[in-house]
Amino acid sequence: MSVFALARRLRAGETVYAAWCMIDSPVVAETIAREGFAAVVLDAQHGLWDTASLIAGVGGLNHAESTPMVRVPLNDFALVSRALDFGAEAIIAPMINSAADARQFVAAAKYPPLGERSWGPIRAMQLQGRTAPVDYMREANDGTLTFAMIETASALDNVDAIAATRGIDALFVGPYDLSTALSGGTAQDVQAPKVEQAIDKICAAAKKAGKIPGIYCRDVAGALAMAKRGFRFIVAGNDQTTLREATVGQLKALKG
């Protein structure tokens, strides 16, 4: 896999579809990646991934020639730099609600002068086949991507300021939390008119700022629809949903 492949593809204007893994199994993540997904997100916020499984999962994805990504837990900016040191090449940070939150995220993810990331990408350099530290450092700020999740009413109000923050590479829509927030906690309808309008607003804010618009979708149909609406980094479901639906289909066929 070419070094920082996901960043190169997205900056070239490609639309990229990605997979999402909740189950803390490096083998499951690698198996999914080997089917051809350009990137796979290991979810350490709501998924079951811990430090040890993240290290193994990132390595497995690299060997499968898929870009490793990590969603970190809420406000866990310490894990941002650690996950990059493990070899992740993109970080999704939840609940980025303001420009101040965005700057904190950038501080952990980017080397000076953009941020304050400290030096120590030993595993990342190994996975990339690098021996000269300066080679990694020269490309890391452009090559490692920061995805700021927009999933609350506050984030929506501040979306232009978040998008304009130096060092933020992408906005990423969390539609289920966004729909929960916009309904006042009474519904989780990602197709409600208010949510649809918010999704378009986020996509437009990213494009206006020259950033990458990204979104999580439950399934392939949703992913294809969001591509038509202008999103360029799109998750098409997760491992648990895929496994469950495949199993349901098998059992239905067996039972006639």
- Taking only the tens place, the pLDDT of each residue in 19-76 is 999 999 999 999 999 999 999 999 999 999 999 999 999 999 999 999 999 999 999 9
Tens of pLDDT along 115-169? 999 999 999 999 999 999 999 999 999 999 999 999 999 999 999 999 999 999 9
Structure tokens at 44: 């350490």
Provide the H-helix boundaries in 48-132: 51-63, 77-86, 99-109, 122-128
What was the pLDDT predicted at 1?
Answer: 63
Exposed, middle or buried: residue 57 (CB in 10 Å: 0-12, 13-18, 19+)? buried
Give, as one character, the DSSP assignment of residue 219: S
Q: Residue range 87-106: average pLDDT? A: 98
- Type and span of the H or E element at 162: helix 159-164
Would residue 46 show up in a list of annotated catalytic residues for this protein?
Answer: yes
pTM of the model: 0.96
Percentage of the chain exceeding pLDDT 90: 98
Beta-strand relationship, 39-43 and 233-236: unpaired
Q: Which of 8, 14, 36, 46 is catalytic?
A: 46
**Structure tokens that stand for 199 in this block:** 């999704």
Contacts of 109 (CB under 8 A, 6+ apart): 80, 81, 84, 91, 115, 117, 144, 146, 167
pLDDT at 2: 80
Structure tokens at 9: 């593809």
**pLDDT surpassing 90 at residue 83:** yes
Tokens of 74: 């809420």
**Domains within the chain, CATH numbers bracketed:** 5-255 (3.20.20.60)
Question: Cα separation of 227 and 139, whole Å?
Answer: 28
